[in-house]
Structure 1
Amino acid sequence: MPRIVHELSPISLLGGGNVEQSDLIFANDYAPRLIAADGGADSAVSFGWLPETVIGDFDSLTEKTRQILGSQRLFQIAEQDSTDFDKCLRSIDAPLILGMGFTGRRHDHTLAALSTLAARADKRCVLFAEEDLIFLAPPRISLDLPEGMRFSLYPLGPVNGTSEGLHWPIDGIPMAPNGRVGTSNKVSGPVRLTFDAPHMLILVPKEARDKILAALLEEPSKWPDPAAR
């Protein structure tokens, strides 16, 4: 599958949903290379930023923004079988992606974005939601978070795991979206998790931002590229 964006450092990806300006300011410092998903380019321009690349089917990108950016920044993928978020993830090669503007405005768009995290499990992407960070758990991850912090697990498919440092351990508990889930757990010590399938979302407050991003960059275990299976 061809890659449009290649980067050895984290990048920022902006969609057309709700986005906090404080998240954009953080992203500009942490991952200054900005990519937009279709109408996310309009959001970027409204904040005074020019994304270097825009990827999508362009059904929501305004003509005004097209003129501002110029054709050389626009990469259209015309098929309608996937979302713009999916088109972006499969077209980006980077160690970590900070996704903003993919949650909050419409529930169907939010659900589609969460499904895409699992469908593109080989990509390390953290979604910045209104209050939380949301990301797909790698096969293993270690996190040093404040005791008592809310730590939610939500499976998108059948998955088993092990845990240390959670108030309610998950060992030996099969989890599934139509069965046992792990929302509103909390941290009781250094967190160590393992999972046997790329189906588990982790949701934590945005105050854990720095530690989550550092842990994901340092964790060597990865899910395979689904296209290579």
Structure 2
Amino acid sequence: MKIGKNLAVILCNGEPPEKEQLQRSIDTADLFIAADGGGNIALQYNLLPDIIIGDLDSFHQPDTVTVPVLHKPDQNINDLEKALNHITQLEVENVLVFGATGQRLDHTVKNLSVMKQFHNQFNTLVFRDKFCDIKLINSPHTEQVTPGTQISLFPLSGKVTGISSSGLKYKLNNHSLENGVFDGTSNESVSDQVVITYESGDLLLFINHQTD
């Protein structure tokens, strides 16, 4: 999927992305931020963030490299929140986050909550890992994809009602998705455009990578 102009890339301390995958995104970005321990991953890849933000309980500043660091010790918010708060002050429109998933499951779930918190503050806010792109979508939502792409829909919090779709193998027609009751995992696109509408709730869209 494509991300619009005015792009910030954030690297968190979850499952590291492939270096080439991260490098491609940084090359098109206006800003590269590491959230605390994400700075260790960046330096292991010989990539220098524009700034490292967090409580700094995980980042280890090497003697041979100088990187701008913004210490935010507040323990009531996590390091991704601190990075996103910083970006909102810079009027960035599009954000691509690596390392927000994997490793500790509780951290992944927390970061999905952070996605909901900041969803309306950016034009796009996407989590990307080795397997998929994750985004919280508004209704209506149109996604350009390659036919045969695996797509999943999941209610982030509770229940999403009145979901309808076009361009998916297993069509939804005024369906509801609810945690612990029914979800929309492992669907598949049958055209190059998928359109999703819904009435209420918080709907996550997962788009599996075909090449990464």
Q: Which residue of 2 aligns with 1:219?
A: none
1 CA distance for matches of 2:99 and 2:187?
A: 26
Q: Does 1:49 align with 2:44?
A: no
What secondary structure is seen at the aligned counterpart in 1 of 2:119?
A: coil
- Stretch deviating more after TM superposition (37-46 or 189-198): 189-198
Give the 3-state SS of the residue equivalent to 1:192 in structure 2: strand
Indicate the SS of the match to 1:178. coil
131-140 vs 195-204, which moves further: 195-204
Normalised by the length of structure 2, the TM-score is 0.83
Is 1:81 aligned with 2:76? yes
User: Of the candidates 55, 58, 64, which is equivalent to residue 56 of structure 2?
Assistant: 58
Could you tell me which runs of 5 or more consecutive residues in structure 2 were left unpaired when the two chains were aligned. none
**In 1: Cα distance, 2:56 partner to 2:199 partner:** 37
Q: Distance in 2 between matches of 1:195 and 1:77?
A: 38
1:9 aligned to 2:40? no
- SS for the counterpart of 1:121 is helix
Tell me which protein shows more helix as a share of its residues.
1
Q: CA RMSD in A?
A: 2.2
**In 1: Cα distance, 2:49 partner to 2:144 partner:** 33
2:81 is matched by which residue type in structure 1?
Answer: D
**How many aligned positions are there?**
199
1:187 Cα deviation after fit: 1.0
Instruction: Give secondary structure in 2 for the equivalent of 1:64.
Output: coil
Q: Does 1:188 align with 2:190?
A: yes
How far apart are 1:40 and its partner, in Å?
Answer: 0.9
Q: Which moved more, 1:119-128 or 1:13-22?
A: 119-128
Q: Supply the AA of the counterpart residue of 1:9.
A: N
SS of aligned partner of 2:82? helix
Q: Which residue of 2 aligns with 1:110?
A: 108
1:169 and 1:208 map into 2 onto residues whose CA distance is: 25
Q: What TM-score results when the alignment is normalised by the length of structure 1?
A: 0.78
1:182-225 CA deviation, whole Å, 9 max, x = no partner?
0001112321112344611111122389xxxxxxxxxxxxxxxx
Deviation at 1:75, TM superposition (A): 1.9
Which runs of structure 2 are paired with 1:173-184 in the superposition (5 Å)?
Answer: 173-184=175-186
- Please list every run of at least 4 consecutive aligned residues from structure 1 whose deviation after the TM superposition is greater than 4 angstroms: none
Q: Distance in 1 between matches of 2:119 and 2:181?
A: 22
Contact 1:155/1:201, CA 8 A, preserved across alignment: yes
Q: Report the Cα offset of residue 105 of structure 1.
A: 2.0
Equivalent position to 2:18, from 12, 17, 20: 20
The alpha-carbon distance between structure 1 residues 196 and 55, as it changes in their structure 2 partners (threshold 3 A), is farther
Inter-partner Cα distance in structure 2 for 1:200 and 1:208? 25
